[in-house]
Amino acid sequence: MEHLNNQMMVEFDSISKNESFARVVVSAFVSRLNPTLEEIADIKTAVSEAVTNSIIHGYENGDGRIRIETHIVEDTVTVIVTDFGVGISDIEKAMEPMYTSKPELERSGMGFAFMEAFMDELFVESEVGKGTTITMRKVIRIDSVSQKEENSIYK
């Protein structure tokens, strides 16, 4: 079986145009696991929400850097999104569905709820004045054609 452990890291400016770049780069990296369209859509949505949170809340639309690390260990994808912005003073409150610290932006306050719904695990660490790290994990069902053939009694 091919070596399934792999990792990558990318860092970019905290501008909204880079949100789609982040989605594409992570989904391209994960594609070697042959995820379903639904699995890849889930990961893209979670990455979008995390990056958008960093831009809007972490840097308050100001200048900054966002780092994404993606690790693949066998069938598990871990995506770590880090910003070096203002941080979150009350993580528990920030993670409540519908809570938003910026109601004037007419955002839904569902970023963390979406990340939690679309990924298998979500961890948030933050320090005020130093930034926030969001770690998300998803297990990809590995049942690709090549593996089915590998296990076939007809080979």
Give the active site residues. Answer: 49, 53, 107
CB 30, CB 72: distance < 8 Å: yes
Q: Which tokens in the block code for residue 49?
A: 């929400």
Q: Which tokens in the block code for residue 143?
A: 């049942």
> Shortest CA distance to 16 belongs to which of 65, 59, 63, 55?
55
Using alpha carbons only, what angle is made at residue 20 by residues 62 and 40, rounded to the nearest 5 degrees?
A: 135
CB 83, CB 14: distance < 8 Å: yes
CB 82, CB 9: distance < 8 Å: no
